[in-house]
């Protein structure tokens, strides 16, 4: 209530207003002000309920018309709640920032750890032909400093997956990986391999990973030797 406009107030200099009148007047002024400055469509707390009246979702108050709601948005209760909500959002954001920062630090440490590599492993590659004329490749990769509990992994990568050199459908890559060593890759001929028993074998013994594979026997005209290299993959 506007105390200055009360009947009998010593400030009520120019003509006396009754209480009802001044309250209505004040409400109307607030409503006008709100109408001018507030776009209800953008007010996240303004809600028209199923009864056709309005609610403030922030203060959980009911309003019979838009004007009443708008006047409410200028009132102390709503303004106080707005400030409280803003403070809560700010606190939440701060907590979120702290969490993200902690995550970043942790993630950063992981990256750093992963980058502590001890270089390429030593390796040997033996090429041979068996009695049937099938080409054999036998890889031995030395991992004497391998992390405890880790078993070396291998996988084939098509020439189109890798980013080291221009794709060539005549070759594929055979990768060997074991932390903390660098991953190494061998370029080998992209020709049908023998999948039968004993023709594709891996073993992991005393820090040496072995992989032996046989190609299927091919006709002499396409039995050329493929280039074998060890490009740096990372």
Give the binding site for Zn ion (CB under 5 A): 56, 58-59, 78
Cβ proximity of 146 and 152 under 8 Å: yes
Residues ≥6 apart with Cβ < 8 Å to 141: 121, 122, 123, 152, 176, 178, 184, 208, 209, 210
Q: In this structure, what are the phi and psi dihedrals at residue 140, rounded to the nearest 5 degrees?
A: -130, 115
State the nearest-atom distance from the C-beta of 49 to Zn ion, in Å. 14
* Residue nearer to Zn ion on the CB measure, 55 or 218: 55
State the nearest-atom distance from the C-beta of 113 to Zn ion, in Å. 52
* Residue nearer to Zn ion on the CB measure, 44 or 220: 44
* Residue nearer to Zn ion on the CB measure, 59 or 175: 59
* Residue nearer to Zn ion on the CB measure, 30 or 228: 30
State the nearest-atom distance from the C-beta of 51 to Zn ion, in Å. 18
* Residue nearer to Zn ion on the CB measure, 56 or 146: 56
* Residue nearer to Zn ion on the CB measure, 62 or 175: 62
- CA-to-CA separations, 234 to 162, 183, 184, in angstroms, rounded: 11, 7, 8
Give the distance between the most distant pair of CA atoms in the chain. 122
State the nearest-atom distance from the C-beta of 36 to Zn ion, in Å. 19
Quick one: which H or E segment has residue 17?
none
* Residue nearer to Zn ion on the CB measure, 89 or 145: 89
Three-class HEC string of 180-232: CCCCEEEEEECCCECCCCCCEEEEEECCEEEEEEEECCCCHHHCCCCCCCCCE
State the nearest-atom distance from the C-beta of 74 to Zn ion, in Å. 10
State the nearest-atom distance from the C-beta of 85 to Zn ion, in Å. 10
Eight-class DSSP state of 163: S
Rg, Å, the chain Cα set: 39
Angle between helices 66-74 and 76-115 (to 10 degrees): 70
State the nearest-atom distance from the C-beta of 63 to Zn ion, in Å. 9
């Amino acid at each position: 209530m506007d105390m200055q406009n009360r009947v009998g107030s010593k400030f009520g200099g120019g003509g006396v207003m009754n209480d009802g009148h001044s309250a209505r007047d004040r409400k109307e002024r607030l409503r006008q002000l709100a109408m001018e400055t507030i776009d209800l469509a953008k007010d996240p707390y303004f809600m028209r309920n199923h009864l056709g009246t309005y609610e403030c979702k922030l203060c959980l108050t009911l309003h019979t018309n838009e004007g009443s709601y708008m006047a409410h948005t200028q009132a102390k209760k709503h303004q106080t709640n707005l400030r409280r909500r803003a403070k809560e959002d700010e606190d939440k954001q701060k907590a979120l920032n702290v969490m993200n920062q902690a995550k970043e630090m942790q993630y950063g440490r992981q990256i750093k750890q992963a980058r502590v590599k001890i270089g390429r492993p030593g390796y040997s590659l033996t090429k041979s032909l068996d009695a049937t004329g099938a080409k054999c490749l036998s890889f031995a990769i030395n991992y004497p400093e391998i992390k405890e509990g880790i078993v070396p992994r291998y996988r084939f990568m098509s020439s189109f997956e890798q980013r080291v050199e221009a794709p060539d459908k005549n070759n594929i890559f055979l990768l060997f990986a074991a932390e903390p060593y660098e991953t190494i890759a061998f370029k080998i001929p992209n020709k049908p391999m023998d999948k039968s028993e004993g023709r594709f074998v891996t073993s992991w013994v005393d820090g040496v990973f072995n992989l032996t594979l046989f190609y299927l026997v091919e006709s002499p005209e396409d039995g050329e030797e493929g280039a074998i290299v060890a490009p740096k993959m990372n």
